[in-house]
Structure 1
Amino acid sequence: MRENVFSILENKSDSLISKSYNLLMLVTIFLSIVPLMFKEHLLMFTVFEYVTTAVFCMDYILRWVTADFKLGKGKASFVLYPLTIMAIVDLLCILPTFFMMNSGLKLLKIARMGRLLRVFKVIRYSKNIAILTNVMKEQREALLLVIVLATGYILFTALLMFTVEPTTFDTFFDALYWATISLTTVGYGDIFAVSTLGKLITMVSSVLGIAIVALPAGIITAGYMNEIMKNQ
C-alpha cells in the first residue's frame, strides 16, 4: 500500500491516478499563488489559502510516511526526511497559513513572502523541469566555471571603472552595478561612463558580456538535448 502511494507521489508510473495527482498538485500550487497577484483580501482567496494548505499538509504527511522508499535508509529515513531540501520547502509553504491565522504574530509580510516558495514545488510535479534540474546537476562544473568567470570579470571591470572614473561612481557598489548591467548588455542608462577611456571600457565590457552570457545557454541547451535523448 505505502509503495503504491510512493509510486503515485513520485510519478513513477504512467497510471491515471499518478497523472491525476500530479495535475491536482499543479492546480493547487497555482491556486495558492493567485492571491499573491492581488492586494485585495477577498473571501475567495481565504478559501483558496485554507484548501490549498490542507492539500499541501496531506502531501507532506504522505511523503513523510513513505520516506523510507525515497531515501532507502530504513527507519532512519523518517528522521532524515524532514531535513531534506524539498521537505523544508514543503514545510515553509505550509507555515505561512498558520502565521496568517494568528494576527498577533504580525508576520503577514513574512508569511506572504513564504508563500512565494510554493512556486518551487512545481519542480517536483513537472517532468520538463525535472529534466532541466538533472541537466543543471550534470553540467554543474561547467556552469560553475562560467559563474566564476562572470564574477571575476564583473569585479575586474568594476574596479577598473571605479579607478578610471572616481567622480562618476560614488561607491564601489555603483561600479559593481554598472559592471553587471554592462555584462548582461541591459544598460539602464542611470549610471554611465563620461570619459573617453570609460566609454571604451564600456564597449569592450558589453561585447565580451555577450559571449559570457551566451555560454550558460549553450551548455544548458546541449545538456537538455542529451537528457531528452537518454529518456527516449
Structure 2
Amino acid sequence: MKHDRFKPAAGTLRTRVFQVIFESDTPLAKGFDIVLIGIILTSVLVVMLESVPALRDAYGPWFRRLEWGFTLLFTAELLVRLYCLERPWQYLRSFYGIIDVVAILPTWLALVLPGAQSLVVVRLLRTLRVFRVLRLMEFVGEGRLLIDALKRSGRQIFLFLFTVCMLITIFASLVYLIEPAEAGFTSIPASIYWAAVTLTTVGYGDIAPVTPLGQSISVMVMLIGYSIIAVPTGVFSAEVIRSIRADRYSEEACPGCGHDHHEKRARYCLRCGTWLDETTPDPRTLDEKTPRE
C-alpha cells in the first residue's frame, strides 16, 4: 500500500529509503514497520513501569536511560522520514506527522518541565500504523458506516441525552430538598452527581439517601435508568443496519417486475431475471442475435 499523498525526493538512496519507511509492499518495509511498532510498545511499557514507585526506586536510572534511548531513536527516525520526502512540511502537517512530533516532544520538554516525560504514552497512537502493515485498511470502510450511523442518529441521541439531563436535574433537585446535608446532599450540583450515578445504575454509594422518601426516589431513578439505558443502543443499531443496507443494496427498481432491493453488484433481477443495467444491452440478447457459423 502506497502513500499517494507523499512522494520521495530525487535520488536513488532517498527513493529506496522512502520505499522501506512509507510502504509495506516488500518484506523489508513490512519488517521495518513491525519492528517500529514493537519499539513503540516497549517504550510505552517502560513509561508505565516507571510510574510504579517500587520499580522507579529500584530501576529509575535504567528507565531514564531507556527513555532517552527511545527518544533519540524516534527523533532519528523522524529525521530520516523527512529526509526521503520531496515535501517534508506536507508530512509534518499530516496526521501521522503530528503524532510523530508529539511522540518525541515530552522527553525533550522534560529538560525544561520536570514530569513531562510521563506524556510519552501518546506514542501508543503511533501503533495505528499497524493498519497499514497488516493491510487492514478495508476496515476504514466499516468505520465509515459507523460514522454515518452516528450522524444519522445524532438528533435522536441528542434528544435522548437532553431528556436524561432534565430527569437528572429534576430528581437531584427533589432529593436536595428532601435529604439532609449530612447525607452528602450539600448542594444541587452534588445531588446531580448522585442522580447521574444512580440513573446510569453505577451506584458508587459515596452519597446515598437516608430518608424513606429519598430512598423511594432512588428506586424510581434506578428503574428509570434500567428502562432507558437501551434506548441509544437501539437507535444507533438501527442506523447501523440502515447504513449497511444503503451501502450494499440499490434502490433502483427492476425494469421487468419493479423489485427494488438488489445488491449493487447484481446484474440480473433476483425475481424475474431481467437485465438491470438499462444503459447497456443484455449480454444474453447479444449472444442470441450473433449469427453462429
The TM-score with structure 2 as length reference comes to 0.57
Q: Could you tell me the percent identity over the aligned residues? A: 16
Corresponding position of 1:63: 81
Does residue 1:187 correspond to 2:187, yes or no?
Answer: no
Tell me which of 22, 32, 39 is aligned to 1:21: 32
Post-superposition shift, 1:81?
2.9
Post-superposition shift, 1:222?
10
| TM-superposition CA deviations, 1:80-110 (whole Å, max 9, x none) | 432333322221210122233x3xx2x2323
Whose relative contact order is higher, 1 or 2, with alpha carbons under 8 Å and at least 6 apart? 1
Structure 1, unaligned stretches of length 5 or more? 69-74, 227-232
Corresponding position of 2:63: 45
Segment of structure 1 superposing worse, 41-50 or 29-38? 41-50
Segment of structure 1 superposing worse, 116-125 or 3-12? 3-12
Closer/same/farther in 2, CA of residues 28 and 210 from structure 1, 3 Å limit: same
Q: Which amino acid in 2 is paired with 1:202?
A: M
Are the equivalent residues in 2 in contact too, given 1:165–1:195 (CA < 8 A)? no
Are the equivalent residues in 2 in contact too, given 1:82–1:88 (CA < 8 A)? yes
- The 3-state SS of whatever aligns with 1:165 is helix
Post-superposition shift, 1:56?
1.6
- The 3-state SS of whatever aligns with 2:229 is helix
**TM alignment of 1:107-118, pairs within 5 A:** 107-112=113-118, 114-118=119-123
Corresponding position of 1:85: 95
**Aligned equivalents of 1:151, 1:195: Cα separation in 2:** 24
Q: Which has the larger radius of gyration?
A: 2
Corresponding position of 2:105: 95
Does residue 1:162 correspond to 2:172, yes or no?
Answer: yes
**Aligned equivalents of 1:123, 1:3: Cα separation in 2:** 24
Corresponding position of 1:230: none
Corresponding position of 1:71: none
**Aligned equivalents of 1:196, 1:99: Cα separation in 2:** 54
Post-superposition shift, 1:118?
0.9
| TM-superposition CA deviations, 1:190-219 (whole Å, max 9, x none) | 345634234213211233214435766897
Post-superposition shift, 1:19?
2.1
Tell me which of 159, 180, 192 is aligned to 1:175: 192
Corresponding position of 1:9: 21
**Aligned equivalents of 2:192, 2:147: Cα separation in 1:** 29
Are the equivalent residues in 2 in contact too, given 1:136–1:220 (CA < 8 A)? no
Are the equivalent residues in 2 in contact too, given 1:123–1:130 (CA < 8 A)? no
**Aligned equivalents of 1:180, 1:219: Cα separation in 2:** 28
Corresponding position of 1:143: 150
- The 3-state SS of whatever aligns with 1:108 is coil
Are the equivalent residues in 1 in contact too, given 2:149–2:240 (CA < 8 A)? no
**Aligned equivalents of 2:82, 2:60: Cα separation in 1:** 33
Structure 2, unaligned stretches of length 5 or more? 1-11, 180-184, 248-293
- The 3-state SS of whatever aligns with 1:189 is coil
Closer/same/farther in 2, CA of residues 213 and 80 from structure 1, 3 Å limit: same
Q: Which amino acid in 2 is paired with 1:190?
A: D
**Aligned equivalents of 2:224, 2:43: Cα separation in 1:** 46
**Aligned equivalents of 2:238, 2:39: Cα separation in 1:** 34
Are the equivalent residues in 2 in contact too, given 1:158–1:175 (CA < 8 A)? yes
Are the equivalent residues in 2 in contact too, given 1:31–1:52 (CA < 8 A)? no
- The 3-state SS of whatever aligns with 2:40 is helix
Post-superposition shift, 1:26?
1.5
Corresponding position of 1:201: 221
Q: Which amino acid in 1 is paired with 2:65?
A: V
**Aligned equivalents of 2:15, 2:231: Cα separation in 1:** 49
Q: CA RMSD in A?
A: 3.7
**Aligned equivalents of 1:197, 1:20: Cα separation in 2:** 61
Q: Give the number of the structure whose residues are more often helix, by fraction.
A: 1
Post-superposition shift, 1:148?
3.4
Are the equivalent residues in 1 in contact too, given 2:92–2:98 (CA < 8 A)? yes
Post-superposition shift, 1:124?
1.9
